Amino acid sequence: MCGIVGYLGPLEAAPVLLSELRCLEYRGYDSAGVAVIEDGQLVVMKSAGKLSNLETLLTKTKPAAKVGIGHTRWATHGVPNDQNAHPHMDNTGNIAVVHNGIIENHEDLRNELEAAGYHFNSDTDTEVVAHLVSQEYAKDKDILKSILRAVKRLDGIYALGIVCQAHPDKIYAVNHHYSLSVGLGKHENFLASDSMAVRQYTNQILKLEMSEVAEITADGVRLFDFEGTEVHRKAATMDGSPYVIDKAGFKHFLLKEIHEQPHVLRRTLGKYLSHSGRLTLDASHNGDVPSYGFRMTDTEIKGIDRVHIVACGTAYHAGMVGKYLIEELVGIPCDVEIASEIRGRKLLVNESTLTVAVSQSGETADTIAALQEAKKRGSFTAGITNRPDSHLGQITPNLIVSECGLEVSVAATKTYVAQLVCFYLLAIHLAEVRNAITPERARQLKVTLGTIPALQEQILAKEQDIREASLKYADAHDVVFIGRGLNYPTALEGALKLKELSYIHASGYAAGELKHGPIAVLDASVPVVCIVVPGAVYEKTLSNAQEARARAAKMIAVAVEGDEQVAKMFDTVLSIPAVDEFFSPLLTVLPLQLMSYSVADYLGKDVDQPRNLAKSVTVE
């Protein structure tokens, strides 16, 4: 949430800052801005709206500067307009600040600074930082010391980028709880909230740790803790090639990413499952060189008596499926909690709990905080993520990494299905180690997992049919999604996707809950989407669908091909190939993703960057 970038070196700073910001636009697109030092003069250029607005401004003004910082904003304090866009300057025009996070005591600081004669130009919490640094700078003209004194006064979690006109050969980065990476080039250095943004220029990355300040020049970086003591750390070499951001001929990234799912599953399965069927979650044993893996020993795994899953949004839905899988295969209790709900209360985990955090970005503040709290209480910890280089990757020794590549679209699709597959692998692994399933059952599960990508391809081949069927409901104002058991989370995910992409209100319910209240909203104007797959809860789900149908609701099913009962009862069927109910969440979500995409595209919505959202939610 909010992205920070910086550059110093021989190149024109503005185009470099823009190219870094392009990689970070997923973190927010309410406004964007840069502060550069041009002919010794600090110049701020910023614009509300998407990065393209700033790009137009910079194309016109063409600042000739070799140093600068930049920002892309997801509004927290103050509406998304030009005034509240970052960077924010102090009153002398000497200092400019960009910020990610929240300064919790900003009101007190603002009152104090206003009383001392400082004038505020925005409604943001960020601006207090510019004035505080300025106030400190007036004392001794030592910019590093001023920053260190100023950050001592800030409450909350934050990252900052700072430039000072009086020190045009330096930029400063401050990290308190967040990710900030310095990319080391030859006589040039880069700064970004996500190492991916500097990876296009260099693979030498120095990550700032908790409560550190970096003083960056074109020829080097010095790190300090908040006490001003210099910290020495070597840069790490990032593996792999830079991410390529490309729609590959698709109209939107979202559609491309939906279509990538079979490939993602094959890659993730291929990474952890050998041809002989051996499951090795410690990726470093598989011949590649990642520094991560799932490293709990067999004795430790045998010692746990409970699993606790924490996540937000789509990742939480994946966690809900994970609970079913773990309880079914491992036979131990598993809870799943919305990470933000753990705040302010007692987290009941201990030395015999395994707490699993699920996060595509690995940066979600609430999820990270929940895992850290679990760690404090002695729990084993693990992460499921698409970004091993993330904050999550740094705080747990047990990481299962999905092979999704970058997910550009703000709405999660391929990373959801990949998180599900990671849960299947984790559940099988825990069950095998604990002898909770027979070797034959384990073998069958792995074989069936291997058949899923081809079944997904069959669904994706029907994209056009799904689009036509979905558009019949594009004028709805309210849609209800229902499912039971393993597909209750699918109903929640289907509703979330429709909401975030098309802005149509949608709610997901456990099908059996409908009659306990939500059924009151049903009439002929409210379509009901029901996920109904043969298995333990098939008949009961159909009964719940009947109850909805009796209230004149338009009925849409996600069901297996050729299901005659379903064909008779539903107005529209989005079919999937026959599948064992246990694996069905890996398929049933696909028609719902396509449905949400088709409706949003038809309604002309901003599919890849829906309003008000950000991909990486780094505020609490």
Q: Which residues are catalytic?
A: 2, 615
Query: Shortest approach of ligand M6R to residue 416 CB, angstroms?
Result: 8
Q: Which amino acid is at 402?
A: S
Is position 500 an interface residue for ligand M6R (rule: CB under 6 A)? yes
Q: Which is nearer to ligand M6R, 265 or 566 (CB)?
A: 265
Which residue in the set 175, 367, 396, 609 belongs to the binding site for ligand M6R (CB under 6 A)? 367
Closest separation between CB of residue 311 and ligand M6R, Å?
6
Site for ligand M6R in 398-417 (CB under 6 A): 410-412
Within 13 A of 484's CA, how many CA atoms are on the CB side? 20
The residue type found at 548 is A
Q: Which residues contact 121 (CB under 8 A, 6 or more apart)?
A: 83, 88, 89, 127
The only residue of 261, 268, 360, 572 in contact with ligand M6R, by rule CB under 6 A: 360
Q: Does 364 bind ligand M6R (CB under 6 A)?
A: yes
381 binds ligand M6R (CB under 6 A): no
- Judged by beta carbon, residue 330 or residue 410, the one nearer ligand M6R is 410
Residues found in the chain:
620
What distance lies between CA 352 and its chain's CA centroid? 29
Give whole-number Cα distances, 444 to 127, 276, 441, 500, in Å.
59, 13, 5, 37
Output the smallest distance, CB 510 to ligand M6R, in A.
19
Cα separation, 166 vs 93, in Å, equals: 10
The answer to whether 261 contacts ligand M6R (rule: CB under 6 A) is no
Give 371 or 452: the residue with its C-beta nearer to ligand M6R.
371
By CB under 6 A, the count of residues binding ligand M6R is 16
Q: Does 24 bind ligand M6R (CB under 6 A)?
A: no
What CA–CA distance (Å, rounded) separates 201 from 180?
A: 16
Q: Which of residues 287-316 bind ligand M6R (CB under 6 A)?
A: 312-315
When the beta carbons of 569 and 617 are compared against ligand M6R, the nearer one is 617
**Closer Cβ to ligand M6R, 110 or 414, answer by number:** 414
Q: Is 46 helix (H, G, I), strand (E, B) or coil?
A: strand
Q: What gap in Å lies between CA 321 and CA 583, rounded to an integer?
A: 10
**Selected binder of ligand M6R within 103, 334, 590, 617 (CB under 6 A):** 617
- Three-state secondary-structure class, residue 322: helix
CB of 476 to ligand M6R, least distance (A): 20
DSSP run (H or E) holding 443: helix 439-460
- Out of 72, 76, 359, 544, point to the residue binding ligand M6R (CB under 6 A): 359
Among 204, 361, 381, 456, binds ligand M6R (CB under 6 A): 361
Establish if 374 lies at the interface with ligand M6R (CB under 6 A).
Answer: no
In this structure, the number of other CB atoms found within 10 A of the CB of residue 10 comes to 10
Helices (H), 330-413: 365-376, 391-395
Strand partners, 162: 97, 172
Where does 62-126 have alpha helices with state H? 106-115
Nearer to ligand M6R, 20 or 500 (CB): 500
* Shortest Cβ 411–ligand M6R spacing (Å): 4
Q: Which stretch binds ligand M6R (CB under 6 A): 69-77, 272-280, 355-363, 582-590?
A: 355-363
Question: What's the N-to-C CA distance of the chain in angstroms?
Answer: 10
Residues between 194 and 223 that touch ligand M6R (CB under 6 A): none
Stretch that binds ligand M6R, among 459-467, 471-479, 518-526, 610-618 (CB under 6 A): 610-618
Closer CB to ligand M6R, 364 or 575, in the complex? 364
CA gap 611, 476 in Å, rounded: 19
- Residue 240, exposed/middle/buried by CB under 10 A (0-12, 13-18, 19+)? exposed
Nearest approach in angstroms of CB 26 to ligand M6R is 10
Looking from the CA of 320 toward its CB, the CA atoms found within 13 Å total: 21
Least CB distance to ligand M6R at residue 615 (A): 7
Question: Cβ neighbours of residue 6 under 8 Å, at least 6 residues apart?
Answer: 17, 68, 69, 70, 161, 163, 171, 173, 190, 191, 192, 216
The site for ligand M6R (CB under 6 A) is made up of 312-315, 359-361, 364, 367, 410-412, 500, 613, 616-617
